[in-house]
């Protein structure tokens, strides 16, 4: 059974890192190891996925108006072709873009919950995906210099598909779901704020589906961790995630992702050193 202290720590880590491009799964895996959990235990994996519900609710509340607007535009567009505008296309981009990670996550669930829950994987992914983020930022800067970026009203269905495919890389602990989707958006020529918001929207179906599936599949084992501790983890994750969303949107409006890249590289190398010196076990 997890202690309430463990639940609070994991909730804070989840809330802080779910939407920042630093990998929530990677940080949760490290935190679980430090707290003494067996990180490749399917029940422990399920717990970390389920407390993501807090982050999902935070996203719903923070973007309630925009989500409602997109949903209404999507419904109207289904029944009236003449009313199909930018919001209708954006809604479809989010829907279609959310499908690939669901399929990949289901087909690779045993690999994700087992062998990939390894701190060597986390260390490698933190460093290697940082190179993709650097490439994406350079692409963004080059397009911004000539005024050739696209905003929310210019997001296409193709954008949704390609960003959704990139989101599949986030199933590897250490890559980061937001890091994958924001980078893909920047590489597609979408401005940084719009790419970040798309990342938030695509998180909702992806995290919800993963959480429900894991809750059902590991329902008996999860009870041993403590229902109260699970609730505490979700509530803490909600509060911290809401604050993280507000901060990140303000940050990306005037700053690049390079500070996150620096953090990822340092964290990845530090983790690799700790593993190499035997201070931490990989699983």
**pLDDT single digits (tens) 76-129:** 999 988 888 999 999 999 999 999 998 898 888 888 777 888 899 999 999 999
Residue 282 has pLDDT above 90, yes or no: no
Task: Give pLDDT, residue 75.
Answer: 95
Give the three-state DSSP class for 31. Answer: helix
Q: What tens digit of pLDDT does each residue of 75-88 get?
A: 999 998 888 899 99
Q: Which helix (H) or strand (E) holds 168?
A: none
Task: Give phi and psi for 104, each to the nearest 5.
Answer: -65, -40
Residue 42 has pLDDT above 80, yes or no: no
pLDDT for position 87: 94
Query: Who wins on pLDDT, 164 or 209?
Result: 164
Q: Distance between CA 102 and CA 113 in Å, rounded?
A: 15
Residue 220 neighbours by CB distance under 10 Å: 8
pLDDT at 206: 78
Quick check: 188 pLDDT over 80?
A: yes
150 in Cβ contact with 160 (< 8 Å): no
For 69-112, the DSSP string reads HHHHHHHHHHH-GGG--HHHHHHHHHHHHTHHHHHHHHHTHHHH
Residues whose CB falls within 8 Å of the CB of residue 96, separated by 6 or more in sequence, listed in order: 157, 160, 161, 164
Task: List, for residues 212-260, the tens digit of each pLDDT value.
Answer: 776 677 666 666 777 888 899 999 999 999 999 999 999 998 999 999 9
Q: What per-residue confidence (pLDDT) applies to 220?
A: 63
Non-local (6+) Cβ contacts of 118 within 8 A are 39, 40, 173, 282, 283
CA 193 to chain centre: 16
Residue 219 φ/ψ, nearest 5 degrees: -60, -35
Which are the contacts of 1, defined by CB distance < 8 A and separation ≥ 6?
A: 224, 225, 226, 229
Q: Tell me the whole-structure pTM to 2 decimals.
A: 0.89
At 214 the pLDDT is: 67
- Tell me the average pLDDT of the chain: 89
What per-residue confidence (pLDDT) applies to 36? 83
Q: What sign does the dihedral 184-125-51-259 (CA atoms) show?
A: negative
Residue 48 has pLDDT above 90, yes or no: no
Question: What pLDDT does residue 1 have?
Answer: 66
How many C-beta atoms surround the C-beta of residue 40 within 10 A? 16
The secondary structure of the chain in percent helix, strand, coil, rounded to multiples of 5, reads 80, 0, 20
More confident residue, 209 or 181: 181
């Amino acid at each position: 059974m997890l202690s309430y202290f463990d639940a609070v720590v994991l909730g804070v880590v989840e809330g802080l890192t779910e939407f920042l491009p630093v990998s929530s799964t990677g940080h949760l895996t490290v935190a679980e190891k430090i707290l003494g959990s067996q990180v490749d235990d399917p029940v422990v994996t399920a717990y970390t996925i389920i407390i993501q519900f807090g982050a999902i609710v935070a996203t719903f509340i923070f973007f309630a108006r925009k989500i409602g607007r997109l949903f209404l535009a999507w419904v109207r567009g289904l029944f009236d072709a003449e009313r199909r505008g930018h919001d209708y296309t954006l809604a479809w981009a989010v829907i279609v873009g959310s499908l690939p990670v669901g399929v990949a996550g289901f087909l690779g669930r045993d690999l994700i919950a087992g062998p990939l829950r390894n701190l060597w994987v986390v260390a490698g992914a933190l460093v290697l995906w940082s190179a993709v983020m650097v490439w994406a930022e350079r692409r963004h800067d080059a397009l911004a210099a000539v005024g050739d970026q696209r905003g929310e009203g210019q997001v296409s269905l193709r954008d949704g598909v390609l960003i959704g495919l990139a989101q599949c890389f986030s199933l590897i602990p250490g890559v980061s779901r937001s890091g994958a989707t924001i980078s893909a958006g920047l590489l597609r020529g979408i401005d940084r704020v719009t790419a970040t918001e798309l990342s938030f929207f695509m998180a909702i179906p992806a995290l919800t589906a993963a959480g429900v599936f894991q809750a059902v599949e590991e329902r008996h084992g999860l009870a041993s961790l403590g229902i109260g501790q699970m609730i505490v983890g979700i509530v803490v994750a909600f509060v911290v995630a809401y604050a993280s969303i507000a901060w990140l949107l303000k940050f990306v409006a005037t700053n690049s992702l390079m500070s996150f890249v620096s953090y990822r590289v340092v964290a990845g190398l530090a983790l690799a050193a700790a593993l190499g010196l035997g201070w931490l076990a990989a699983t």
